[in-house]
Structure 1
Amino acid sequence: MNRLDPYGAFSAYVPGFTEMLIDYYDREQRARDQEFDDIWRIIRPALQPLYATLGQYYVPRNVSRYIFRVVVQMALQHKNDVSGSLDQRVQQLFHIVKTQSPWLFVVLQAYRVPEKEVGHLVKTVIREVLENIGYQPEQDWSKWESLGGGVSSGPAVASWKENRLDVFARGAEHELLHKWWDGVRWSDWEHLAGALTSSPAAISWGENRIDVFARGAEHELLHKWWDGARWSDWENLGGILTSSPAVASWGENRLDVFARGEDRYLYHKWWDGVRWSDWENLGGIITSAPEAVSWGENRIDVFARGAKRELLHKWWDGARWSDWEDLGGVLTSSPAAAARRANRLDVFARGANHELLYKYWDGQQWSDFVHLDGRITSEPAAISWGRNRIDVFARGERHELLHRWKG
């Protein structure tokens, strides 16, 4: 009996039945191959530390890669055979891999990789697969939520722990406004004084620590911080800014601040934990405030709008600054950016029809621009406090604070 025709003579009464079965199995295999390719492309950046770990035991990279691909394939093959919480499903799939592919563990143990380390590596790969099955960054966004208030600038947002959000904006009297989400509810607006002439920027480099920056009445850079107990007064850091500032932090007690200068060049000033640097000229012709984000130690990505309203991108890799990269688009505001995890970037801006534009880097390539709905009247602000969680804020048509999220 033909293995593709278990019904035997049935195919004799249905012309083309065997061919239909072959086509069905081919399509099923192509779908499985496509799912594997999609997942492999998404999780490859997250596997780099695992290659490094196995490299310490002199495991060749091609061997590590083959093992990782087998684990991914088995996790996808048996994803519907497990249930429960994420941890429970990881454990169940680990048992399946260990039972059905014992050679994998034998090979790694032959390189003297400790059994505990092998288990950790395999479970890490399985977890990456489960967390990214069906994940499509451009889909499943919430609707816009109105958080009220009379804001006179674009917002800024920081997060110092999971499910914690601190949002800032300029108020009707040019003072700094502050509103926060504590994991259960939103606070009322807190008035923190000041005479701001730009949208604020905010960052957190440690638990219960927030640093806020803005442009002052003399176009100088202003700085205010929360130390876990109280807010400081405004600190004058000098300079002549022609845009709102941007700030990123790649380590504890490290701050990198950016702004546009009078010549439309990008300028950079940093706090190294002891003192502030002078302003550094990074060149470029930018037509908006910059945005900055960090996804790893000594890594900074900076975005701005260019002369043709395109999205520009420049990055620091720990040794040098790149040239400006043109990412296209037609922006009508400065951009916002968030980093969900290592080598993952989500960038937002206002589009020509006041809608929210979205573009993302998946670790391998940039997506096209996605047009999300909305009528926003300011640049957006974005933050990520979880692996696949993104929160976006902007000012609405009634000067209210708008919020939408994914994840």
Structure 2
Amino acid sequence: MKVLKLTPFFHHPDVDSWPAAYDSVGGMQIQTWRQAVWLAQKGINQHVMTIGFPGLPKQRLLQPFLSVECLLLPMLHIPSEFSGLIGLTQSWALATLAALFPKRRKHDFDVVHIHLDGQIPALLVACLAPGLLRCPLILTVHCSRLAVYTPHSWLDKVQHRLAGWLERKAVSSALTVVALTQRTASQLIDDARRVEIIPDVVDTTQFAPPPQEAITAFRKHHNLRRKTVGFVGRIAKEKGWKHLIPLAQALREQECELLIVGDGTQRDRLQHGIDKAGLKEWVTVTGFIPNHEVPLAMSACRLIVMPSAYEEFGGVSIEALATGVPVVAFAVGGLPEILRGITPDLLIAPEDTRALIARVQAVLAGHHSQSIAPDRLRAYVKQRYDPSVMGAQILSLYQLALSNSTRPVRR
């Protein structure tokens, strides 16, 4: 079996730095990579077509059965606060379709698996690519226009109706649609032939409490000297970074500090807000760090905050819980489905900065010590978000697609 994976965003684990303009941090990148690695380890041959950045080879074998091809048309490097570079995903979509067009009569793919980020370019690829290749289509919806997406610019609002129409069209043409949450599945069920709920996963061998000496070294490297609250993710409007400024001000009053792990196109705005509020000595921004260092960063914190405007799933939450670190989050998207089962008191009404600060202060004061015991958090994640269970579900969908295909299958 050979699977073609089309995704604008995919984690490149073999790099130690990643330009923020090319969307360096995100749950979709990590999840598409984790899934591909698990399937490759099971002998499923996959070819990934995704966005690269300067310095990455155009095509490489990440490991046996997993090849990655980076595709972009030549483009002007015009910065954008919302997409990194203006035209980035459009360039990928056009380059991908151009690369697939010559293969329409002769190729060796059995299944096309497309990962949707909620933007029009990937939706267009989902509508056009399966017809070119005449292969069964599986869609994973990492961000649904119909269920959770909130437009964040005037242009985005103009495009929102078209994007929703394209999502319905893509969903209706797929053999199976994979949703990350029950909320999104319920929105897509009327348009889809088949919907499966397969949430994001976390590798609990990687995301586990690190040795204390490693945590101490990380804290020393980043000059962390006080009780620390953490934020992990893209520095983007939808991740709610503006709530971090008043949070840091409140933490300063308690002699606590804020660690921001990640990068993004609005990092300069964040830094300006930090400087304007006189918080330079109380907030540390690491920028991009390799994925294998994220458990260290999380373990250096007493808790992680997620003040997102919207989240399809909220993968950072299960990574933190797997590391034994509690999460205080706005109740948006998939976060209630995750946290209500383990720490419901740490869910906050969306956009309520005061309540977020109060709950963070309560955790720091030890008021939730029983519910946030590290072993309890970790056991919860291992039971519900193990890669082997979710990977087996994806594999069964591939096998179902093969049984519905008229193409001869390579074993």
Q: Would you tell me which structure has more helix in proportion to its own residues?
A: 2
TM-score by length of 1: 0.25
Between Structure 1 and Structure 2, which shows a larger proportion of strand residues?
Answer: 1
User: What TM-score comes out, normalization by structure 2 length?
Assistant: 0.24
Larger relative contact order (Cα-Cα within 8 Å, sequence gap ≥ 6): 2
Rg comparison, structure with higher value: 1
